[in-house]
Amino acid sequence: MALAMILPVVAAVALGFSLVTTSHALPRRPGHLGSPPQSVPADTAACTSRSPATPFVGVAVNPPVKPAVAEFKNAVKVRPGLVELYLAFGSSFRASSAGQVVESGAMPLVQINLYNVHVADIAAGKWDHYLRRFAASVRAFKCQVALSLGHEMNGIWYPWGYSHLKPSVFVSAWRHIVDVFRSQQAGNVTWVWTVNVRSRWSPSPVDWWPGSSYVDWIGIDGYYRTKRQTYNSMFAPTVRIVRGLSSTKPAFIAETAVSPSALPSAQLQDLFSSVRMNHLTGFVWFNVVAKDDWLVQDDPAVQRVFGKDAGRYFGISGTP
């Protein structure tokens, strides 16, 4: 998520899946192995599907994962089909957190943020030892995991993004990471290319496209921050762009929420109905306090209509 629209976010995650910390740790050396691979979740029987049923409602959370997902579900009476987690590059795959997602009946999506690393070094193979270790951990997890690398790379606020890093370097690093995972036979990975909606601070994402053979799903991030914003004004132009890159890849809104200062009832209806009408596979609600409070449990207006719209437009019945 773009925590500020102009200034870049500087953050690193040292432990577990987390959005930001105040630690400004030095980069690890490329050979760093992190902690040993964690065991496969006990309930591997939950791995019954390669992806959530569509259209789905997802949720992005900070740890601890299990209570965070439960709070969201209880607030909106909808069981998420996808749960989005955040991890800093150089950290180990957290099978325990991903396992809690699987046990909740959802698929984990891990956004790997490229903090504290020279992206060109990834492309040059200097982090291959770490990548092979990470890939082995994901493979051992067995359940399907969606991975996204350096999301919102077409925005100006992240160090791996527009105006900070050449798109060609980002593309080379993306392809190299995917190639390493494939060489390690980590076949339970769904690769998600996640861009920001086109705006004055984020140009068309075309230059960052790694190619259809390196992407499984396409994610688009955007937030209803003002009363004037609609799906057509915010998401539609970028949806047209990414469908021009690939008309066959499933596309979804990978991060969104409605500001309390906007029009929660009308804009939630706009979100649900437009996702359905435009054949997107779903959306992920950013249920995190980050600059703004996007928590549904703190917004009664959102709670009142969320479950109703999920049933009306997505056919998702209320979940106690």
7 located within any domain: no
Q: What is the enclosing helix (H) or strand (E) of 115?
A: none
Mean pLDDT of 47-64: 88
What gap in Å lies between CA 211 and CA 200, rounded to an integer?
25
Q: Which of 7-16, 187-196, 232-241 has the lowest mean pLDDT?
A: 7-16
In this prediction the pTM is: 0.88
225 located within any domain: yes
2 located within any domain: no
Q: What confidence score (pLDDT) does residue 98 get? A: 97
Q: Where in the chain does DSSP place strands (E)?
A: 56-60, 82-88, 107-113, 145-149, 189-196, 217-221, 251-256, 282-286, 289-290, 292-293
**How many alpha carbons fall within 13 Å on the CB side of residue 273?**
11
**Token match 């132009």: residue?**
237
Say if residues 115 and 89 touch (Cβ distance below 8 Å).
yes
The closest of 146, 148, 149 to 122, measured between CA atoms, is 149
304 located within any domain: yes
84 located within any domain: yes
Q: Which amino acid appears at position 175 of this protein?
A: R
CATH number at residue 123: 3.20.20.80
Domains in the chain, number: 1
Q: To the nearest whole percent, how much of the chain has pLDDT over 70?
A: 84
Mean pLDDT of 41-70: 83
Whether residue 43 has pLDDT greater than 80: no
pLDDT in tens, 191-217: 999 999 999 999 999 999 999 999 999
pLDDT in tens, 272-297: 999 999 999 999 999 999 888 999 99
**Domain, as residue range, for 115:** 54-314
**Ramachandran angles phi, psi of 179, nearest 5°:** -60, -40
